[in-house]
Structure 1
Amino acid sequence: MEGRGLHPSSAPFHNAGRDHINAPGGIANKSDGSGNHLPGATFHGPVSFGAPLKDRDVDEATTRYSEKAACLRSLGFRDIDTRLHDITAAHRGTCDWLFSTTQFQKWRDRADLSAHNGVLWIKGKPGAGKSTLMKHALRHCEELFGDYLIVAHFFNARGEVLEKTPLGILRSIIYQLLDKDDTLYERFRPIYEKQRMFKEGEWAWPRAQLEDFVRSIINKRLSKPLLLLVDALDECDERSVRDVVGFLESLSIDAVQAGITLRICLSSRHYPNVSMRKTLELTVEANEEHERDIATYVEEKLEGHDNEIKAKVRKKAGGIFMWVVIVVSLLKKAYDDGRLEAMREVLEEVPTDLEDVFNRLLSRDDPDKAETIRMLQWVLLSRRPLKPEELFFAVLAGTAPEYSGLWDRSKITGHTIQRRITALSKGLIEARTGDTASVQFIHLSVSDFLFRNKRLQTLDPTLHPDPISASHGHLWDHCWSDIKQQDTTSTSGQYMKLLSDSYPFLLYAASYIFDHAEKALSGGAMQEKIIQWLQMGNDWFEWWKIFLSTVDSHREHSYLEDNMDTGLLYVLSLRGFPKLVTVVLAEGGADVNAQGGEYSNALQAASYEGHAEIVRQLLERGADVNVQGGRYGNALQAASIGGHAEIVRQLLERGADVNVQGGRYGNALQAASYQGHAEIVRQLLERGADVNAQGGYYGNALQAASYQGSAKIVRQLLERGADVSAQGGYYGNTLQAASYQGSAEIVQQLLERGADINTQGGVFGNALQAASYQGSVEIVRQLLERGADVSAQGGYFANVLQAASVGGSVEIVQQLLERGADVNAQGGYFGNALQAASYQGSVEIVRQLLERGADVNTQGGFFGNALQAASDGGRAEIVRQLLERGADVNTQGGYPGNALQAASYRGRAEIVWQLLERGADINAQGGHYGNALQAASTGGHAEIVRQLLERGVDVNAQGGLFSNTLQAASIGGYAEIVWQLLERGVDVNAQGGHYGNALQAASYRGRAEIVRQLLERGADVNAQGGYFGNALQAASARGHAEIVRQLLERGVDVNVQGGYFGNALQAASYEGYAEIVRQLLKRGAEHNADVHGPGRGKEVSAETVLENRAKCLALRTYVSLHLSWLWIAAA
């Protein structure tokens, strides 16, 4: 099914709408299903029934771009290409040897294809330089295969989860393919739409679904040949390596069989021992040219040094480039220290094995060894890659007794931090580039070294016997050290944000303290301390929730928004920390049935998230399995919607009521049916679930399964006696749900079971209207053959012909007309079929309707008439048809007022010209923008404004949302239009509208150039009125210092009273704009002027206001160090 986005949670006529619908003029409001809201005005905006829901304030090209961007965002992930950028580029004069090898040339020419299936596999020892070679190969291939689709993925064991998993490479591959090829995007879009439509809440791409899509494009002829380059296969776990290799091998075989040109280039270590049956294999360190690369590097880096030293470096390297890089660094350090003789000693002592080099570097006696170990532990075990400053302060948190965590940037610079990291890590940790800088080991082999043979324990014997758990214990302790020193009584949002800026490690500490505590409870010296921590009072926990919900810019802790009233047990159950839950239940005396939060209780939260072990613990501690409340009503429904069959089994065995009602889906059976969890449906039915229970969003389980499109579950439910004619739910009945979903198989099943084809109700009124809107030709045919009433009225579109006209299927419209559908039937969102088709843009459907006698001037619907709908939608050919058929060019009505105003706002210059040529009244009043000139000015369409002005439009006409054209253009920041209007004699001081006048509007929006124009043309700088009373207060409230300066230079009254804040000083002080406060005070603003607005009752002395603000925001020394300038500014 290629869904149109009319999902219950995104449909424009549903009260759970989640899409933003912009008010004309660009004022965005959250839709609650009833329309868009502005102060003093309520209106209902039209919607474009594409997928996803289109914003009326962007044209179709922009909307398509936005849709594609949303799809790509669902596939992409942070750092998707960071590893590629981190890899050092090939040293000058190296790596080109690859392209002369027999293996590469066979791969390039596809010679002897049956022997290798287009796969080149580059293998090498750890540190041999494979990734640098692959990056060089990628750049070469981009030049060599310029007409190819080239996709590259560089695995990264040190990165985020998706950088090192099969799911990550699939998302990366598809992201790149869709980004580069619109045809592939169009193929993928229905998959994305269905996924978005049917998945509850936050959803993730299933791996199997993405694999199927990649296979499908290999089995169909592509527009271009495809080259896939994958580096560092070994940087995911062994099972994942086998999965990825197996998948890539199957692609290579499929491509050869299908005659598709697919080249695959892989790189990995020799281990794990995974292979393909057919491949070209090349070993890096065995190639003589690779040895020459090493020689080139050594020669350049040690230029001027003893040739004997260079020769010995080359000989000891054994083909391992990473060894050479480290040893050359050690040699140069010895030289830089002035110890020329030491170079030979270093070279003599340095081991030939890379791991032995690491061991030598880290095993030296060093007064900073404790810090070195902590730094290694952090980079090895942190939950996400740390920023350099986070790592610096994380280490201090656990090793410096005087640690405060406060970052004095004047003393600790980025350069200082980087030098300290390099020194403590002995050069084994580096900063990676990307959207945000982070630290990582210089090579995966460093991680391998630390994990293997308990090397951490060797470095620090106190980590015995479980170095990993013990290390997590230390990391937890570092996190707690940063948190416990905070003032938990100060919880304002601004204070929390300042804390995050001032304490660079604090956000990580708060984000992952539970993760490290959970892992530390497996063993280590910190266990008792963690248990005591969990038994402490709630002050730190309440502070923790407020802090994370305030400063979490990446939305990683967005779950807290709906769970601020919950306790520690709930959060631990929701997030999945079974060991911590055990402690809290056993030692902390937590109330297992405490109510609160999005899921009402810990049991429902754990059930929804699929934490089976936590569910078991909660049940054993007496959790009420049937307690009601929360998003899903009860734990059983939560587990059912989540698809957690094992938890469903646990709950049922503990006496969960299988038929209890409540929650979003009414009952567990409807929840499982909606999500397509056939195994859970089977369990529930066997436990006596009422197959016909009514309630919930879809009315009953059968309607939910029909909407979801699961023929298997529909069959299960029908075999258990589901009532095929049951009424209720969003779609009214099961047949309508299935017809909208587009499953001909389910529709057939329902009809064979006696579903009433003409039953009325639900969002579409009947099944035929649902199928007609959705464009399901086969289902429409089925329904018509079974006697569906083509003239039935009801539903959002009032009749099937209007629904089909919106849907855009010429074939369905033709079928309906042949069956006698009334071409002039009235009602519904668009009023009639002609208006719907005119807006939708189908020239052929409009032609059919007109030939069948559609009344071209019928009034009604959102746009008032077909001409206005076509003008708004930019359908120039349809406008021409309608005008030739006698459409009245000056008919008034509908949201935009008339066709000329609709076209002017949308920027449809060609249509504006057509309408004017046909006699459109250029000064006609009415509609949302009052007249065509204001509409064009609001939209920023200078060319249309020019047309209208040349035709003699009244430049000073009043009315509409912005009262006059000049204010509309000023708000939008359209300087050219403002200039045109001023040249035509517009009244620069015209009053009215939300902002009173154009000057106040431009000042509020920060349009400095327009403010300058208006002032030069005589705008009254002291004009009163509007929301802010005057222009100075408007500019001050928004922090536009340059505009404030302009107004002050023009003699504005700095103490004029009125407006929302009372005066400009009060506005700037309340909003915290110190520079503007300084300007106003210098110009004589009175400290104790009367207060109005939100600051009533507060001191308005700038010094006092800013002092109080500083106290709210500042921290101890931070105030004196960083905010003292505010006092000076206000003095």
Structure 2
Amino acid sequence: MDILQATKAVFFLGTPHRGSHVLEKLFAQTGLKLGKMMLHKQMPAQIKTALQPRTSESFICNSDFVKIKGSIAIVNFYEQVNLPGLGELVVDKDSAVFDSEKAENIPIARDHRRLVRFTGPEDDAYRTLLETLKRKIRVFLLETDPAKSTDTLTQMSRDCIASLAVPLAWRRGKRPIEPHRATLRWFWEREGKFLKWLTRGAGLFSIEGKPGSGKTVLMGDMVSKARQFSEMDVLVHHFFNKRGQIIEHSFQGFLQSVLEQILRQQPSLFEHMLQDWYTMQDPQQMTPNHWPEWLLKRALTRVIALGSTTLRFLMIFDALDECQSEIDIVEILSFLKVLLDGTLGKNVRIVFSCRYLPDTSNLNPAECLRMEHHNQSDIANLVHDVWSSSIPMDAPADEFQELKKAIIKKANGIFLWVRLALDRVTKAVRDGGTSDEIRETIDELPGELSGIFEMLLGHPAQKHREETHAMLSMALTAKKPLTIEEFRLVLNLCSDDAISSLADMNRSTKLVSNYQVMQRRIRSRCGGLLEVVPADRLDTAEEVGETARNESRQVVQFVHQSVKDFLSLRSQDKTTGLPSPEQFEKDGHARLTRACLQYLRMSETYRLLRSSPNTTHYDLSLLAVRKNLVSLVEHLCKTGELVHETRFEADIVSHMSLAVTRGSHEAIKILLAYGADPNAPGELALPIACKTGNLDILRMLLDAGARFENESLLSGSKLRNRILRPSHNAIAMAAYSGDAEVVRLVLKLDPDALANPWNQHLAVMQLLAGAVNFQAEEANLMTITAKLQSRTSTLMSLLTTGSIDFGSVFGAEQGSAVMTMLCAVMGFSKEALDMLFEMNIALTPRALTFLLAMVASGGPLSAMQQLVCLGGASMVVECSSHDADNLLHLAAVNEDPTMAGYMLELGIDLNAQNTDGESPLHVAASFGTRAQVELLLDRGADTSLLTLRGRTVFHLALLNPKLRPCKALLARLFATDASQHIADRDGVLPIHLAAAQGWLATVEWLIEIGADIFSRDNQGRTPLHTAAASMGIDSTAVVRFLVDKGLEVEDADEGGMTPLHHVLYSYDVLHKDAFDPEVSLANARYLLQRGANVNAKDLEGTTPLHLAAWRGNSAVVKLLLKSGADVEARNRADVKPIDHAKEDEIWELLELAARI
């Protein structure tokens, strides 16, 4: 009971709540049989019984859980990809979704076997699927009608924006430093130089000034206020940051940032760069997800040139001097001039800041101002406020004024100088200094920033100077800002040679105890020139994750770019005790390198290799092994610590094996050069090279003396009585690779490799396993086809060179099944089927049924005709008469519609229903194309049949995007003249489905033919509820249409949820294949405009703000707060919206709102 009460949520990952219908399929029965025969494994009878569809066991289990569930939240993850070899979902959506009022249902584009096998944030399967989808969209755009074209362009625009996103490069602009009270008023004067230019001028406006004079603060203020003084259609900004990562101060990052912001504000401008997007998506020309600089320049030039004919642009760029080099500054300035030359004069205004304009820029801005000529009053306000609030000193008022004037005069327009000087004055006051001593302190302050820096760096005690130098050199040379945790560990690793493990490091007496102490230590040792700032000022959301608020994720950086410049460009000064800049940089690199190598030599480095390769948890040592293997191997070999190391487990028993697995030619060369033995006992480099199919590495090992006669790799007659693991068997691994050349090379060098039946068995089964794994991981059809042809050639090599006798190796029945599966993974090519028939193996009924089903669902028509010629049409009808899905069900989703026509010609029942009550027409309406549906209708398919959920083909067709524009076809699917009034068992009507898809034209059509706009389903939802929850492109238009027709924005469903709730949450009986923040924002904004209650509560006390915080949609959170949402609202579980916040930005928004 304690566990139940403490449970807040249950996550189901592909859980078969209603069993798996696959167990009723012949495919599954055949697979289980093959598993029992070939692998000697079978599913326990009790589990098999419980997983049968609609069994009493699953019903009782679900009912019992509902009784005790209470307020536990349910999250269901369900698969969307058929399992290779089955052509089916193992657990379909209906079974994977546990029905609950507030269940969240999330689709995963994986098959059941790989549903939770995540490879990390850069998942290759995800990327491949995305790129394939984009290619399909391009083709679809050319073939579709204008309505589809608009939707497709919108989606392409969003994909383009996502590919351009570089949050690192402009986060400083999004969160500028707030100007001090009562400053910058001179800048915003009505008749001031800037506002005159902004309202009546054009071209370029430059803001120059010394380092630390407040340029960045001014530019940030400009971003915040510019729209108040001018009507601009597009306002973009970019803040260069040389202290950050390379992308933050590169021309590439600048171009991406500007183009992204323009497209976000004016998506219609995407049409002007459509050709550039097509070029970007061409895999023959471009690296995936990488914009080349020349293409960005061309796209941005087109967008601004064509967009400025009707739109007004204001572009704000800060710190051009923080580009990578002066060449980059000149290139950016030249590019800005090109932009202006190609536009309509006054419609484009560009303001930028830098310390100075390079002499080579050849650029004459229309207006220019220097900060130090205007900011004296701002500095006076700052000194006055800081002095009054932070410097407790008893002295006459006039003396105060004199001291402040002295600071203001000496500041010479530099805010940074004031900040550092006031720190010194404050310290002197707190130390008990008199007025004369304070004046002396001020007089001693150097008048230039470089002098202040030298003074601060000269202050540490002699015993601390080495640590000060270490800290500054590390901050100077690190390629990206180090976190405070990294800073703490690196300092420790540089100072303690005795560390050999993480445990040693944690016990080290030289390790700074915690982050707070480390922060104080940095400030005291470096005189305030280094600061510790929150990670969200530098890191992306993906890098920070949910730990962004953790102190260990704060980063260490210079307080200003001028500090870094000083350390890099200064002349050597004995007063600071610092070495020359060149030596200083070398010291920094040496410290970081030493720390990394020390970390890599820890014992944990080796143990990391024992973990699953799919782990998503990485640290420095694992990344080094994976990304910098060559450097690691070379270091260990040079130090004599490693040539053949056997600390690893599983198949990777040495660094040689590791290098072969990673495909690192360089690492292998280094190991061989230092004497690594490819024939050492237990060495598996040779079979691993065979498995990867890397001929170059295989020949490299053979040239180095690797032999198949190695005792651990012996095959053929020498091991007739020894059972080898497949991974130790070279010919089995060569077969797994599917590379015919590798197989032929192994057989040439080891003629006895297939001399015994066991090796023959292994080779064939590994060929099959490799093909299945390859198809599961590869989404590119062209790549699959080419590889399958290679596997066909590989199999022929095994059969001819190795003389494999399937009958003796596998037995008649098992041999038949294996050959059938091999044909399936080879794409049912004519060569594969000819090979099958030439084997003279009598196909068992089960194997033949499996073969027919696979061909019907995804094979070519020629293959089916070839099989029919072998066994006759009666064989096809017989196969279809005793299976849950007949061959026509499977053919209904074959990309070739002629397959379904051929099945009908053979006499298969057109209206046969499977165990889910689905006819072939139901299947085609759900997943097929117009051609497939029309073919079945033309042949007389029955449109009145109902599935077990009570759905007609008309219901299912409304959910199929391929049939969206086909009103005439939808009308043909009517079961009766009143099909628009037929509800399924959940009370869902066609108008609910169309609204949930966000299809305005379909909703309008249904109403025209009499659909009831005020109808409710069994959960009390109207079409407005389902439309509000829709992520369809036109969903906001549907919401507007339904409200105009009389539906109430305050109407609540059975759970007390209003349409505004549904914008951010869905019961998912109908919807939520994805969540689109932009669509949800548009829906929420419209509902609020029409009077929706922003603080409405459902039966659990949940408000829309709770849901927006949970969703992580910052735009909707801001909208709700602006509309008066109660940030302190609590639901029945006593949870406030801020308790749902996962992202820092959401948490900060809600925390700030709670303070106000």
Normalised TM-score (structure 2): 0.48
Normalised TM-score (structure 1): 0.49
- Comparing both structures, which one devotes a greater share of its residues to helix? 2
Higher relative contact order (CA 8 A, sep 6+): 2
